[in-house]
Structure 1
Amino acid sequence: MSASRTERLLNLLLALLNTKVGLPRAVLREKVYKDSAENDVAFGRMFERDKVDLKQFGFEIETIVDRSSFGNDDPGTTRYRIGKDSNRLPEVVLTPAESTVLLLAAQLWERAALGTAAASAVRKLQAAGGFTDVDLPAGVQPRIKPAGQAFDDVVAAMHGRHTVRFGYLAGSTGREEQREVEPWGLGSRFGQWYLVGWDRARGAKRFFRLSRMTTAVTAVPGSSCEPPAGFNARAELDELNELPLRQATLEVDRDRLLALRRRALAAQEPAMGSPARDRVVVEFRDPEQLAEELASYGPRVLVQGPADLRAAVVRRLQAALDFHTSPAVAPTFPDAGRAPRARKRTSEDQLARMLQLVPFLVHHQGLHIQEVADRFGISRRQLIDDLKILICSGLPGGYPDDLLDIQWEDDHVYISEHLDLNRPVKFSEDEAAALLTGLAMLGDLPQLAGMPEDQPGSALESVTIKLTGAAGKAGRLAGSVSGQSVAPEQSQSFATITQAIRDSQQLHLRYLSLQKDEITERDVDPLRLYSLDNTWYFEAYCHSAAGIRNFRLDRVESLAANGRAASHTATAGQDFPARLFTPSDDDVLVALKLTRQGAGLADDYYAERTAQRPDGGLLAEVRFGNAGWVPMFISQHGGAVRVLAPEAVHTETGTWLQAALSQYESASGSVAG
């Protein structure tokens, strides 16, 4: 949609906000629609559409009807206005501690629709002047990575109250089926994200694991639905029973895969007929979850049973090989850097940003234009385009004093006339859900490093109360999203590292290195703790490697202070979230092709360049510290990603996949499932 439509919507809003008695249709057509509507019919259609659009922002247009002496309505004298307090964000004033907790909650949502909504909500609080600019505590930075594109698509459908359609791998039958579901809520349990909704074909409530969705989630055209009154995703997910504990029998290459062997139930035995392998038994609950790990080990492990786990591994490997041998595309990147994920931008998006931009500038006079652009996550050019529309917008009179007055002198932005747009609009449903659900997820987090002992709990409680009140009816969607706890399972290691960060002390640790497949010993200066879902890491300066490294808490064999002060050779990076991968000159740069469902991997692995594909997928250039990791990566994400270049890595990956699958071939040459 064109910028002229954005300008028209903004001018209509300003006109209706700044009138006490209301404006008749004739004035609106002459002053607001003069360059848009060719005749009365076109004007009528546009005005009705624009009223609907403004209502989506919560601006209810009041209709004032003058009645003649005969008691009949006269359309010519009907007037329209919007109350000045219509849909304005209530005043919310946060203490520094509350602002810190809120910022942590907002930044939990890594690269997801709710992450965008949370950032927008924080900007509204900043624009209203009630948010204290704070830095995140260096010690603890949790974050959540929801289940890829399916999560975003379901959130959008719930927000729009649309029925969704998707392919689904049924756990009971192992067959792919088409499902049509009224989405009621999303939540995380047992390390997996679930959709709760009404299955239209079965006429019953069902739970759907997002990782089992085999196609894109699409809204059913013309559909609408409502969750049951009082629906609460957390309460619904409490009905789910954890899958029963089962045992998997595996053949594992001798002296390899220590991470897997650590979980073995008993001493390993030599595999029958395979002198170079051991028989290993591990416990598991979710075959799909374990299959993802086992597929990544490729030919180094063979699943003997149970059958559903074996089939799940084979399916991943076969999908990876099928994608590997599909027609290749040239890995070309027309633009330097990362291409934005495809999403249709509308004038509603632009107007929403402007309704935040004006009050933000009112409360942050004189900021550098690039800093303003960075705060809104847009380019300098996009911001200037917004400002150009704003300075041409105003009241129907069109006089200089009737226009928004914004200047940017020496690249510093000032606003002297805001025309009653000095307060941002209320939280949308997804904005309220992002903040309130994020705050709930912080509830089990231990003491935040860098904050006084008595502040996190009380600040969490008080900011939740304030935001619940400010959200009002928009908090509806918050009850439809239930996140997982971000509390670390390795509580003792967490406490030891947190204390060492506070006291600036070194730590000695014994650590299982997955890359080297061995236990290593190191002295490190801990810098910060951070999580990805319920897996916790700590960033540290490693004296053995003479550089910053990242360590998973669940791979730490032992951890204790070594009695020495931290060297302060390095400090925690300023980036958020912390990166799991530290680039070096020895990295291998690999060109990848990702499907639409796998496109999020470009973000997960810090792609340096990306290019959008017509089908919604991506081309991406990703650094790997070791080329040997690439086949494992491709196998793990069976069918979501393939190697395009270098050719040697592509060939090695194909050989790896063929070798892994050949283990499962029966005497007839078919793949056993």
Structure 2
Amino acid sequence: MDRTERLLDLVALLLGASEPIPFAELRESFPDDYGGPREAAERKLERDKAELLQLGVPIEFVPPKYEDGRDIGGYRIDRSAYFLPAPGFEPEEAAALYAAASAALAAGDFPFAHDLAHALRKLSVAGQRSASGGEAAARGLLVVRPGDPGRSAKLTALADAVARRKRVHLRYRAQATREVTERDVDPYGLAFRHGAWKLVGYCHLRTDQRVFALDRIEALEINEQKPAQADFTIPEGFDAGEVAGLRPWLWRVSDPSKVTLRFAPGSELLAERAFDAAPDAQAQLTVTNMDGLLSQVLGLGDRVFVATPDAAKTRARVALEAIRDRHSRAPEVRALEPSPPPARTSGEAPRQADKRERLRRLLLIVPAARRRPGITVEQLARELGLGTDELRADIELLALVGRPPFSPDDYIDISVDERGRVAVFLDQSFSQPPQLTALEALALATAAQETAPADPAVKFGVEKIAAKLPPRARELYSTLAHRVAAAAPVPRGTEELLATIRRAAETRREIALEYDKDGRGQTSERIIRPRAVLDHAGRWYVYAHDVGKDAARTFRADRIRSARETGVAFPDMGPLDPGLFERDTLFFPTGAERAVTVRFSPAVEAWALARHGEKARRIEGGGAEASIESAGESYIVALVLSFAGEAEVVAPPDVRAAVRDAAQRALRHYLD
């Protein structure tokens, strides 16, 4: 008997039993599987039990109760814990959760994508989907993670290792030297921070906790010895998002020191949006990496400067003087390597048939078909996310599933008639979808937090899901909640603004934005028709039709001062195509773009080559040059300043002069 079929038969038998079934009786019912030497049979049953528990099937051994006349123990499935209870969503909660989960799945690299998809299907089969509002809500959410599509396979594998606490062996490439090392890592957690997926774990090579960039993991292998047994424990209070999301000035490089920043008039909001401080004329930060702080400060030009201590002021002044002086003379002529480096692609290996995934979906087919009498194979396949041939094969297998002794009335009676309709006459206790597993609940919660910041409907929906989990699953859910952080944090102080704009996108209401276009404290009112709140590679934007410009525009979330509804409705503009945003930078050609050549020093060469890909060339003797399309000067100026002397504009001359002038303006704060 195929293992998948055996597990389904075991579930059917235990679900239909009124009393716990002793092991001896299971051996009689499954002689080909649990017969033979007792110890080997017990180990096999324990492996089956462990797999079913991972799928959310609450199989358990019940010890004997002599007072009930039961002198031996047995196995059972608690029906009250097996079937998915109704979470009791309000319509807006169901719509918000479905929209959030759909947006996360559309991103293409959600770490628990399979679990999230199964969670949605279970809720749908249980009748918890709200058709009204779900599609509209989905239009207000977009998550785009541009880059190597092959990373989804690595994410899935690492998410599995994180959940099971299994050690991984990595081949990891250093960014600066490109040296590849092999190391064993205890994967504590995963987080999307600073525009990239990060693995946080204990590195046995470095004997310390480390953060690894997923894109620089060239190969990984999970330790599958004793697969049901954890390989390590998690440090108390561990939070993957907190560790991976440390601001650059908080990276552990030196002993802590206090640094005071001051903000130019009109730029006080930068204290909150860029430095996580109160919006004021000055902010005091604790700093353990001065290079990280200076990069952030210098990139903001004359809007912020270091006030104390003197050593930090001097470093900022020296860097600005070097930038000014270099851009005050003609650039050196440097020879480029003859051809760009070959593009590195990781690819995704063809996915092997996953028997566990098949078993998980098989548990849903009968209740899904039973809920909608007369549903066609094509309709049911769409609802379950399957191909029609795949579904037909699953239905054929289900027709072989039943309870020992396997008389005709003991089998699941499911079939497809000549008109392609699926009918269920005997469900053998598979009448309702099974309970959410801890990972499925976690996937829903993580997706909701990723795509719907500050949405009360999402918050209450997640709380209801967690409250309905069985105790064992709830415990695992709680331990994993701080170990996976898929949500890119919104800029501090924008949570309610983005929630307001997203609701307006759903209900098609115009919004009046107070917007600081250049980030210099000079705001103007923009009337917009919001299409979506967009997380693009970890940065938050609002994509909308600008009424005044009569054109589509993208607004940076960190430059929105306020947002209010005008009371004006607008017609439905249809769904957005996420492919519009599948690009490395959120840049839409306007016709005013031109190429700017930026040169990077050997110290940051690896960053430039990785960031700009085919548009970057190595320089003979070290360094790199990149051609960057830009319609204005502000982005290029901020980029070059942020490298504190490790980058310069080569051409055109007017942009080179703009960098010089920006450095001179910022220097005035340090020369007064």
TM-score for the superposition, normalised by structure 2: 0.61
Matches within 5 A, 1:584-599: none
Structure-2 change in CA distance of 1:400 and 1:319 (3 Å): farther
Q: CA RMSD in A?
A: 5.6
- Which structure is higher in helix share? 2
SS of alignment partner, residue 367 of structure 1? coil
8 Å contact kept, 2:374–2:423: yes
| Alpha-carbon shift at residue 143 of structure 1 (Å) | 3.6
Q: SS state of the match for residue 187, structure 1? A: strand
Alignment of 1:38-53 (within 5 A): 41=36, 48-49=43-44, 51-53=46-48
Corresponding residue SS for 2:200: strand
One-letter amino acid of the structure 2 residue matched with residue 425 of structure 1: P
- Classify the secondary structure of the residue corresponding to 2:444: helix
Alignment of 1:72-83 (within 5 A): 81-83=75-77
Task: Give the alignment partner of residue 397 of structure 1, picking from 371, 392, 405.
Answer: 405
**Per-residue deviation, residues 335-366 of structure 1 (Å, max 9, x unmatched):** xxxx9962222322211111122223333433
Name the CA distance, whole Å, in 2 between partners of 1:436 and 1:128.
18
Query: Does residue 151 in structure 1 map to residue 160 in structure 2?
Result: no
Match status 1:579 vs 2:593: no
Q: Distance in 2 between matches of 1:346 and 1:100?
A: 31
SS, match of residue 578 in structure 2:
coil
- What's the CA shift string for 1:408-431, capped at 9, x where partnerless? 443333323211122333333422
Listed one character per residue, the Cα deviations across residues 447-497 of structure 1 (whole Å, up to 9, x for unaligned) are: 58xxxxxx5665565555445879423313224223445435684974785
| Residue pair 2:190, 2:483 contacting (<8 A) in 1 also | yes
Kindly provide the CA deviation profile for residues 227-268 of structure 1, in whole angstroms up to 9, marking residues without a partner as x: 23755425963995643445569xxxxxxxxx9999999999
The aligned counterpart of 1:480 is 483
SS at structure 2 position matched to 1:356: helix
Any conservation in 1 of the 2:446–2:487 contact (CA below 8 Å)?
no
Report the Cα distance in structure 1 between the residues aligned to 2:570 and 2:410, rounded to whole angstroms. Answer: 61
CA–CA distance in 2 between the matches of 1:637 and 1:228?
35
1:91 is aligned, of 85, 94, 116, to 85
In the alignment, the residues of structure 1 paired with residue 547 and residue 65 of structure 2 have an alpha-carbon distance, to the nearest angstrom, of 81
Q: Report if the CA contact (8 A) 1:538-1:552 is conserved.
A: yes
Distance 1:25 1:189 in 2: 49
The amino acid of 2:484's aligned partner reads V
Inter-CA distance 665–355: structure 2 relative to 1 (3 Å threshold): closer
| Alpha-carbon distance in 1 for matches of 2:238, 2:623 | 47
Distance in 2 (CA, whole Å) between partners of 1:45 and 1:175 is 47
CA contact (8 A) 2:510 2:528 kept: no
1:386, distance to aligned residue in structure 2 (A)? 0.7
Q: Counterpart of 1:432 in structure 2: which amino acid?
A: A
1:118 aligns with 2:112: no
Alignment partner, residue 183 of structure 1? 187
* Counterpart for residue 9 of structure 1: 7
Shift of 1:383: 0.8
- Please state whether the residue corresponding to 2:353 is helix, strand or coil: coil
Post-superposition offset of 1:19: 3.7
Cα deviation digits, residues 493-547 of structure 1 (max 9, x gap): 747855864464488999999xxxxxxx999643333323542344445789998
Specify the alignment match of 1:197 in structure 2.
201
Q: Match for residue 433 of structure 2? A: 424
Shift of 1:318: 9.0
Q: Quick one: distance in 2 between partners of 1:226 and 1:377?
A: 35
Q: Secondary structure of the equivalent of 1:52?
A: helix
Q: Please, which of 433, 449, 457 is the counterpart of residue 442 of structure 2? A: 433
Structure 1 residues 396, 196: closer, same or farther in 2, change over 3 A?
same
Contact 1:92 1:470 in 2 (8 A): no
Q: In 1, distance between residues paired with 2:445 and 2:159? A: 15
Amino acid across the alignment from 1:397: P
The answer as to whether partners of 1:8 and 1:33 remain within 8 angstroms in 2 is no
Q: Cα gap change, 1:23/1:211 in structure 2, threshold over 3 Å: closer, same or farther? A: closer
| Contact 2:60–2:75 (CA under 8 A) maintained in structure 1 | yes
Aligned amino acid, residue 124 of structure 1: K
CA distance 1:478–1:264, change in 2 (3 Å): closer
**Cα distance between partner residues in 2 of 1:25 and 1:463:** 34
Displacement of 1:134 in angstroms is 5.0
- 1:433 Cα deviation (Å)? 2.2
Residue 356 (structure 1) aligned to one of 364, 370, 374: 364
Measure, in 2, the Cα distance between the counterparts of 1:194 and 1:512. 31
| Number of residue equivalences | 524
Partner-residue secondary structure (3-state), 2:190: strand
CA deviation profile, 1:632-656 (whole Å, cap 9, x unmatched): 9xx98957999xxxxxxxxxx5xx5
Letter of the aligned partner of 2:86 in structure 1? V
Counterpart check, 1:161 vs 2:165 = yes
The 8 Å contact of residues 436 and 468 in structure 1, kept in 2 or not, is answered as no
Greater shift, 226-235 or 347-356, is seen at 226-235
Counterpart Cα distance in 2 of 1:557 and 1:83? 54
- Tell me, in whole angstroms, the C-alpha distance in 2 between the residues paired with 1:436 and 1:539: 25
Asked if the contact 1:490–1:553 (Cα under 8 Å) also holds between the matched residues in 2, the reply is: no
Within the candidate set 383, 388, 401, 2:391 is matched to 383
Q: Counterpart amino acid of 1:323?
A: P
- Call closer, same or farther: CA 1:275–1:629 in 2, change over 3 Å: closer
Which 5+ residue runs of structure 2 have no aligned equivalent? Answer: 250-288, 306-319, 519-524, 598-605, 625-645, 648-672
SS in structure 2 of the partner of residue 530 of structure 1? strand
Letter in 1 for 2:431: N
Aligned partners of 1:425, 1:537: CA distance in 2, in Å? 38
Query: Counterpart of 1:321 in 2: which secondary structure?
Result: coil
Conserved 8 A contact 1:550-1:580: no
Deviation at 1:390, TM superposition (A): 0.9
In the alignment, which residue of structure 2 is the partner of 1:647? none
Matches within 5 A, 1:139-538: 140-141=140-141, 143=143, 145=145, 148-149=151-152, 150-169=154-173, 176-204=180-208, 206-211=209-214, 213-222=216-225, 224-228=230-234, 231-233=237-239, 237=243, 240=246, 242-243=248-249, 244=289, 245-247=292-294, 271-272=326-327, 275=330, 321-324=340-343, 342-409=350-417, 410-440=419-449, 445-446=453-454, 458=460, 461-466=463-468, 471-475=473-477, 476-484=479-487, 486-487=489-490, 491=494, 494=498, 497=501, 501=505, 502=507, 504-505=509-510, 525-532=529-536, 534-538=538-542
SS in 1 for 2:219: coil
Structure 1: which 5+ runs fail to align?
68-72, 250-258, 278-298, 303-313, 329-338, 449-454, 514-520, 583-603, 607-623, 643-652, 667-671
Question: Normalised by the size of structure 1, how large is the TM-score?
Answer: 0.61
Deviations 1:536-559 (A, max 9, x none): 344445789998x56253598999
What do the CA deviations read for 1:61-116 (whole angstroms, capped 9, x no partner)?
6489999xxxxx9xxxx996433528514523322233233324434533223132
Q: 1:363 to 1:567 in 2, by over 3 A?
A: closer
Distance 1:408 1:536 in 2: 48
